[in-house]
Structure 1
Amino acid sequence: MTQHPTHSPQFFLTAPSPCPYLEGQFERKVFTHLVGDKAPEMNDLLTQGGFRRSQNIAYRPACETCRACVSVRILAQEFKATRNMRRVIERNSDLVGAMHDAEPSTEQYSLFRSYLDARHRRGGMSDMTVLDYAMMVEDTHVTTKVIEYRRRGPDTFITGQGQGELMAVALTDQMSDGLSMVYSYYNPEMDERSLGTFMILDHIARARAMGLPHVYLGYWVNGSRKMNYKVRFTPQEHLGMKGWERFEGDI
């Protein structure tokens, strides 16, 4: 078995491959392994430095000719929902998110499969098997949680859990300075609920309740329309050459 020393992480660079967000561009990533007792601390430091986590790998773009990917984190304690966002919260007031340890289930995978088939049929994750999904959830050396969203039931105020159909799921890392949304998915037949937006709003509320300043959303890709939703949650900070800088306007 390969051993990865935790006291001095090694970084590696991938070969160029076609960018999934910008036509005609090629992406490269720098990555390292997140393993051992120091993995949570290392994940905090790397996420604050613009890295993202996928299983036990931390990575960030290292493209030669493009700087379109920008790390984004919401300032949770200052956030104010827009009128449209308040409508989304009201529309989903019958839902409750229950936080669990990072354990996969067949119910989760069924929803995940439906989401990929409807929204990302040609994406890099489109051929993920149930084993691949289990690895995505379980292969973590940091504090990772699964939040399952279901309708409120008569016992929710006691159990803190919803009942009935699983409608949305978020895989989330809990860090010292915030919550990092690793991956989220939802029932693709419920567009009217705007469940993707709702889960981000729910994470902002959770971060506030936990006294954490940030919600990390990953990368906003300048020029990619499908990533523009990330800059709607203001105020937020973008990681640039001078460090994290405040952003409040429209793109």
Structure 2
Amino acid sequence: MSSNAPRRPVRDLRFFLTVPHACSYLPDREATTLFLDPQESPVPGVYDSLSLLGFRRSGRHLYRPHCEGCNACRSVRIPVSHFMANRTQRKILRRNSDITTRVIPARFSSKHYALYADYIRLRHADGDMYPPSRDQYRTFLTLEEPYAHLMELYLGEELVAVAAFDQLEHGLSAIYTFFGVSEALDKRSLGTFAILKLIEFCRHKTLPHLYLGYWIEECRKMRYKQAFTPVEVLDGRHWRPLIR
């Protein structure tokens, strides 16, 4: 996003709170979500400002958790200038040195959707994105805005993974990654590899941060995020090192 993008003060924006619903991450808990007014499209400036306050994008909506009595969801980001791959991550980079990447606009592709649908059916049949559909995919991961991108990962001519991300003024925001599911591909740790490639892309664009969304200490599926040290966590309105 351009640093010359027009900005509106956050206090001038309208927000809506959802009714309580089942938490997607922690059993036996209810969640509520704070959404930017849908009439306020996620334009540059607004999006940049809200991302610094822990908001995320899903389709055309900007949101963040706003649960009474619970602060388990914490926004995390990687300060890329301080990141150094650990031994496991270096092995993953070497293991995937034969993979090539291409960054394209976040437009719909039947090839992408086929990979996504297989991923959801085989990896997340117990989640709230099952069963997959083309409309669901379009609403979630496609957006005709200049900041919305997809990183394609190819093994030869085969598309093996896609990482959706946004380019903000102060970093990249990783939206979602999906990849091929097979015994051979599982050994490649494509989810971790995609994050490592986004870190490289941040450096190429001289962007200081890679935003990884929310981290919940009690959620096993989110533990991979804390491996990308050093990780910063949003504490109120300030980003601080995650110390565990």
TM-score, normalising length: structure 1? 0.88
- In structure 2, the partner of 1:92 is 96
- In structure 1, the partner of 2:85 is 81
1:48-87 matches, cutoff 5 A: 48-87=52-91
- In structure 2, the partner of 1:223 is 218
1:124-143 matches, cutoff 5 A: 124-139=128-143, 141=145, 143=147
1:1-150 matches, cutoff 5 A: 8-33=12-37, 39-139=43-143, 141=145, 143-150=147-154
1:212 is aligned to 2:203: no
The whole-number CA distance in structure 1 between the counterparts of 2:41 and 2:131 is 32
The whole-number CA distance in structure 2 between the counterparts of 1:173 and 1:35 is 20
Greater Cα shift, 134-143 or 88-97: 134-143
Deviation at 1:38, TM superposition (A): 7.0
Q: What is the identity, as a one-letter code, of the residue corresponding to 2:206?
A: G
The whole-number CA distance in structure 1 between the counterparts of 2:109 and 2:234 is 35
Contact 1:146 1:172 in 2 (8 A): yes
Contact 1:39 1:142 in 2 (8 A): no
Q: CA, structure 1 residues 33+165, in 2 after alignment: closer, same or farther (shift >3 Å)?
A: farther
The whole-number CA distance in structure 2 between the counterparts of 1:68 and 1:99 is 33
Q: Secondary structure at the match of 2:128?
A: coil
Contact 1:51 1:58 in 2 (8 A): yes
The whole-number CA distance in structure 1 between the counterparts of 2:146 and 2:14 is 18
Q: Secondary structure at the match of 1:111?
A: helix
Contact 2:38 2:61 in 1 (8 A): yes
Contact 1:40 1:142 in 2 (8 A): no
Q: What is the identity, as a one-letter code, of the residue corresponding to 1:180?
A: S
Greater Cα shift, 30-39 or 114-123: 30-39
Deviation at 1:242, TM superposition (A): 5.5
- In structure 1, the partner of 2:172 is 179
The whole-number CA distance in structure 2 between the counterparts of 1:126 and 1:195 is 21
Deviation at 1:136, TM superposition (A): 2.3
Deviation at 1:241, TM superposition (A): 2.6
Post-superposition CA distance 1:180-210 (Å, at most 9, x none): 0111110121110000000001111110111
Deviation at 1:122, TM superposition (A): 1.8
Q: Secondary structure at the match of 1:128?
A: coil
How many pairs align? 233
Post-superposition CA distance 1:83-141 (Å, at most 9, x none): 11000000100011100011111110110011101111021111231122123233354
Q: CA, structure 1 residues 182+129, in 2 after alignment: closer, same or farther (shift >3 Å)?
A: same
Gaps of 5+ in 2: 1-6
Q: CA, structure 1 residues 35+76, in 2 after alignment: closer, same or farther (shift >3 Å)?
A: farther
Deviation at 1:61, TM superposition (A): 0.5
Contact 2:106 2:143 in 1 (8 A): no
1:147-158 matches, cutoff 5 A: 147-151=151-155
The whole-number CA distance in structure 2 between the counterparts of 1:132 and 1:38 is 19
Contact 2:171 2:207 in 1 (8 A): yes
Q: Secondary structure at the match of 1:131?
A: helix
